[in-house]
Structure 1
Amino acid sequence: MDYTGNCSRCVQTQSQLSKSDIFGVLQNDRRRHVLELLRSHGNQSVRSLSEEIARLEAENGEPNSSVRKSIYISLLQTHIPKMESLGIITYNREHDTVELLPAVHDFDVYMETANKSGNIWSRFYLGLSILAIGGSLTILSGLIECISSSQWMLFVSIIFLVSSTTNMCHFHKLEG
């Protein structure tokens, strides 16, 4: 493998990565941060990735230059080569840019689960539950009389059925 973006395993891995490979990448905070940053901001230089990861790791305050340098070196020597060998990213040494490759879509379901701020589906179902309870209380209290409790129950059940089916299809599509 060279660092111009040409990876010998890229052709093999674009079809689908094994769960072992995916978990191997996601178990490391820095690799997970690289994927999250590239997803949200697009192509990045290694320097900007290392600076942002240093800020994320520092949590409070600005990280010092030795921490940023340590992260920069670990990205170049360990994390970027590992992810590049799996065909997830490509690193162009000449332009010092890291770019996501299509194989990153194999991570979608796992990134959602690994996201420490809560995943999208969890928030969706929480909001749907709050809507169902709020609507039920409103109907039971008599504030809305044009919808019966039976109609509301059927409506909420259909929404949960459609949502869970969509969620299940989404996960099965990503897994295989």
Structure 2
Amino acid sequence: MPQQQHRRPDETDGTDVTDEPADAEESDPLSKGEIFEVLRNQRRRYVLQYLKQDGRPVALGDLAQQVAAWEYDTIPEKVTPEQRKRVYTTLQQTHLPKMDKSGILVFDSDTGVIEATDRTRDISVYLEIVPGREFAWRELYLSLGAISSALVAALWLEIYPLTILSNLTWAGIIAVTVTLAAVAHIYHERNMRLGHGDQPPELSYTSDK
């Protein structure tokens, strides 16, 4: 009776086999719709802020303490047990599982540890996703363009008192104005990015108003 040959687990029959990593799907970038769906909720934005800010795996208890502090406009040490429990429960049962499913983070429900993923680090979400907190940059640039066009037309018609300054001076004024607007736009977007600063950008935005 011929002996049956047993292959070791690492042996193949010559056919090329390509093992795709189990987390290949998680490495794919999220669409804007998926990002908005997950992060339109304030608590989930706070979770992402804390993860991006800390950069290390965090315990659910510590996360709930800080999120509650942001929600109730206080410091973590002054969060009451009731406030912490309320946030802890919803994070554990609703928000963290949803974010884990999307691959934005990894939530171990057994140990209560939350860890960032490549998607966490790659996401740059600005405050513009928060309804009612948008800044109308397009309208600003449109207004600057309209004013500049009207100014050029007035200079071409030699309307006084605009002719007191030379055309070159007016061109410089227009260029400086547009440049300052662009610098302000970049500064605003940087400050409105989740993970930038010690608190969520929407809180900074509110305190600055």
TM range (shorter): 0.5 to 0.7
Match of 1:53 in 2: 67
Secondary structure of 1:12 counterpart = helix
Q: Percent identity?
A: 24
Secondary structure of 2:123 counterpart = helix
Q: Deviations over 1:152-172 (max 9, x none)?
A: 434554x379769x89xxxxx
Match of 2:174 in 1: 153
TM-score normalised over the length of structure 1:
0.57
Specify which of 99, 123, 135 is matched with residue 107 of structure 1: 123
Match of 1:91 in 2: 107
1:30 aligns with 2:35: no
1:19 aligns with 2:40: no
Matching residue's letter, 2:60: V
The CA distance in 2 between the partners of 1:9 and 1:68, in whole Å, is 35
The CA distance in 1 between the partners of 2:171 and 2:36, in whole Å, is 45
Q: Does structure 1 retain, via aligned residues, the 8 Å contact 2:92–2:109?
A: no
Q: Deviations over 1:120-167 (max 9, x none)?
A: xx7xx9xxx9xxxxxxxxxxxxxxxxx94433434554x379769x89
Task: Specify every segment of 5 or more residues in structure 1 that has no aligned partner in the other structure, as ranges.
Answer: 1-7, 130-146, 168-176
Task: Specify every segment of 5 or more residues in structure 2 that has no aligned partner in the other structure, as ranges.
Answer: 1-20, 145-167, 188-209
Q: Does structure 2 retain, via aligned residues, the 8 Å contact 1:92–1:98?
A: yes
Matching residue's letter, 1:111: Y
Match of 1:144 in 2: none
- Which portions of structure 1, spanning 4 or more consecutive aligned residues, are displaced by more than 6 angstroms? 160-164
Q: Looking at CA atoms only, which structure, 1 or 2, has the larger radius of gyration?
A: 2
Aligned residues: 135
Shift of 1:103: 1.5
Match of 1:77 in 2: 93
Q: Does structure 2 retain, via aligned residues, the 8 Å contact 1:10–1:85?
A: no
The CA distance in 2 between the partners of 1:107 and 1:36, in whole Å, is 11
Matching residue's letter, 2:104: I
Shift of 1:66: 2.0
Shift of 1:11: 2.7
Aligned Cα RMSD in Å?
4.0
Q: Does structure 2 retain, via aligned residues, the 8 Å contact 1:9–1:87?
A: no
Matching residue's letter, 1:23: F
Q: 1:100-139 residue pairs with structure 2 within 5 A? A: 100-105=116-121, 107-108=123-124, 110-114=125-129
Between Structure 1 and Structure 2, the one with more helix by share is 1
Q: Deviations over 1:93-121 (max 9, x none)?
A: 5764322211135631x3342469x78xx
